[in-house]
A and B are shown apart, each in its own frame.
Chain A
Amino acid sequence: MLVIKDLQASIEDKQILKGINLTVKPGEVHAIMGPNGSGKSTLSAVLTGNPAYTVTGGSVEFYGKDLLALSPEDRAHEGLFLSFQYPVEIPGVSMVNFMRTALNEKRKYFGQDPLSAADFLKLMREKRAIVQLDNKLASRAVNEGFSGGEKKRNEIFQMAMLEPKLSILDETDSGLDIDALRIVASGVNTLKSKDNATIVITHYQRLLDYIKPDFVHVLYKGRIVMSAGPELALELEEKGYDWIKEQVDSQQ
């Protein structure tokens, strides 16, 4: 579904991604790990079309379409979802209003009629149960006054509502206690199917105990420097990144 070729991107003239290659197929879970500043979050920002970043080279195909030519909202409509590392607060805008707008925009994109209020609320009830958010959610403003754990659960709730084909979880485990981590991970696993795929960006093995990756990639200095099976994550947990850094730096 996703084919990234030699992707390069910069922010404020600083080159961050220096040629990323990655292919993701339906049903797969890919973990992207790597030390701080290696470009993990930049990759998610560039894929979703954050205007703060400039693509300077390479290509990204999403189901055969040129992803980089699409607006951020059309990328979302096409089935790309980002669980933000820092979910944004939007005061005064209720979750029900926000999600309804989002969902109906997607339906409009595919020429479908908007969902009725009753159907929408029913859907919202079903989906919030997946991440154990209570019925106050509908009337609360988007992320406003949410605890760290609630924010991350709210991200997965939105993912459940929008049913994306490819979800990117950007450090969804950061700032979570073990209970919240379990809820979030079990939500992600519930939503997993043979038709969708997940990219998990994380520093730690911890999350990968719950969300089992098929592939683990190490991102360092804007490139994927190592790819392997789930055993690589365990090795990194044990040995850290230094041995990879040394290996890469000595080659240069």
Chain B
Amino acid sequence: MKETEKPEKGNQIIEEAAQAEYKYGFVTDIETEVIPKGLDEDVVRRISSLKGEPEWLLEFRLKAYRHWLTLKAPTWGHVHVPEINYQDISYYAAPRKKKEAKEIDPELKKTFDKLGIPLEEQMRLSGMAVDAVMDSVSVKTTYRERLAELGVIFCSMSEAVKDYPDLVRKYLGKVVPYTDNFYAALNSAVFSDGSFVYIPKGVRCPMELSTYFRINAAQTGQFERTLIVADDDAYVSYLEGCTAPMRDENQLHAAIVEIIVEDRAEVKYSTVQNWYPGDKDGKGGIYNLVTKRGLCRGDHSKLSWTQVETGSAITWKYPSCVLKGDHSVGEFYSVALTNNWQEADTGTKMIHLGKNSTSTIVSKGISAGHSQNSYRGMVKVAPQATGCRNFTQCDSLLLSDTSGAHTFPVIEVGNDTSVVEHEATTSKINEDQIFYCNQRGISTEDAVGLIVNGYAKEVMSKLPMEFAVEAQKLLSVSLEGAVG
């Protein structure tokens, strides 16, 4: 009899959810150039020479490497990153290019087609410029010529180093120095590729720029680096997506994103993170250990982070804003969903240095299965930064008795003319809501998807249209029936 089966039903649904397949877990069979496992100064030199880099960049890498050797991996996060053997990872993997071919390998194109990433410029309807990064290198950047007419630079980091060395040198490592933290130092030493964006003065970038990251090769780490510069009065909206094959071993992803926003400029940075989260027993999955930070250097500058995090075995990231300019604005909108044995420790830092700077934080955590989901945030107002304003809303939704939701907020206010607000709620999914949906003919799985999407709506509504639909589906799929 249905009515008596409630607890069993819950478990069964969780099991089904756990077995829900990760859609992007396929492996592309493509010839890959991989340098042998291990890390030392020679490997750093080898990466640099493979990429034909100038001397100053090699120096930057070597300094970072030497500094990294002095550091220990941070342990303060509410996540359990096991001891990683950094000698057991290959630091460079690149899809091998056929010599005379100008076009990209059809296998690669197929991979990105399968992921729904348009690499063909004739797909103009999609209205999005894409930089596709497979393993360590950028595969193709679309729409470059059209953007160049406006003076917008959108290319892979490797190309930027070759074609715009002065710009790269001027900004690289200025927001996230290699001394910042363990993973940032590692990335600075071995980063392979990533995207570079420069929006010149007064230009509104007419299309969404997007980087799509894909880890394909086994036993490699991905260390990409993104640098975005919006000069005075410029505007750009930038999207980042990521997936990886299902593998039993864990893979390391330690990226850096640096953003510089000048006077009255605005940058919107949106992420839909769907790295392979591991299987239902917590085996495999990506360690996503990422440093993302933006510097609102100009007066009246604005930086907005929006993230929907459903993937990765472990997530450790805090997209932050350093609000240096007077009247600068920082925003952080986040949905982090964890299921099975996933662990996420994510949040933001809003550092108010400029007068009358304002920041908004909206964080929605959703925990299912045996997962642990933490919000960690810092709001800091410097003594000279008078008249600042922060509003933080931090909500947690628990979908199972075996999952955890945690909040670690830190607030430091250095003057008495600033106002900082923090609101927090924790709730369980409501059985009355589910039954109401059931009675209208909506299954429990679909009901949970609806309710969770409703709960996350405030954040989802900040995503660009094309991404929002994708992200909604992702939330429902990642949850499939995870109610317990």
Chain A positions within 8 Å of B, measured between CB atoms, are: 9, 46, 48-55, 68-73, 75-77, 81-82, 84, 87-93, 97-99, 101-103, 105-106, 109, 141, 158, 162
Contact = CB atoms under 8 A, between A and B. Distances in A.
B440 interface: yes
A55 B435 contact: no
A90 B441 contact: no
Interface string B162-198: 0000000000000000000000000000000000000
Interface stretch (B14-22, B100-108, B448-456): B448-456
A83 B1 CA distance: 24
B225 to A, nearest CB: 36
Contact of B454 (A68, A103, A141): A141
A53 B1 CA distance: 11
Contacts of A105: 441-443, 446
Given A69-B2, A92-B457, A50 B440 contact: no
Nearest to B450: A93
Nearest to A104: B441
Nearest to B455: A92
Nearest to A87: B436
A109 B438 CA distance: 14
A88 B437 CA distance: 9
Interface of B: 1-4, 6, 9, 430-433, 435-444, 446, 450-451, 453-458
Nearest to A81: B439
Nearest to A94: B454
A102 B453 CA distance: 16
Contacts of B1: 54-55, 68
B337 to A, nearest CB: 15
Given A51-B6, A71-B2, A105-B446, A92 B453 contact: yes
Q: Is the interface of B mostly helix, strand, loop or mixed?
A: helix
Contact of B451 (A72, A90, A162): A90
29 contacts: A46-B3, A49-B2, A49-B438, A50-B435, A51-B3, A51-B431, A51-B435, A68-B1, A71-B438, A72-B2, A73-B438, A73-B439, A75-B439, A76-B439, A76-B441, A81-B439, A84-B436, A90-B437, A90-B451, A90-B454, A91-B455, A92-B454, A92-B456, A98-B450, A99-B440, A101-B446, A101-B450, A102-B442, A105-B441
Contact of B441 (A9, A84, A106): A106
A51 B437 CA distance: 13
Contacts of A141: 454
Contacts of B4: 54
A105 B432 CA distance: 20
A89 B437 CA distance: 11
Contacts of B9: 51
Contacts of A71: 2, 438, 443
Contacts of A84: 436, 439
Contacts, number: 99
A78 to B, nearest CB: 9
B209 to A, nearest CB: 29
Contacts of A48: 439
Nearest to B451: A90
Contact of A68 (B2, B444, B458): B2
Given A46-B3, A90-B450, A99-B440, 4 more contacts: A73-B439, A77-B441, A89-B433, A90-B433
Contact of B439 (A69, A82, A101): A82
Contact of B440 (A49, A51, A54, A98): A98
Nearest to B443: A73
Given A51-B3, A51-B435, A76 B453 contact: no
A72 B453 contact: no
Given A49-B3, A51-B6, A72 B439 contact: yes
B455 A73 contact: no
A207 to B, nearest CB: 21
A53 B3 CA distance: 6
Nearest to B1: A55
Contacts of A101: 442, 446, 450
A153 B137 CA distance: 58
A121 B309 CA distance: 33
A162 B441 contact: yes
B8 to A, nearest CB: 11
A192 to B, nearest CB: 20
A71 B454 CA distance: 24
A88 B450 CA distance: 14
Contacts of A82: 439
Which of B6, B431, B433, B458 has most chain A Cβ within 10 Å?
B433
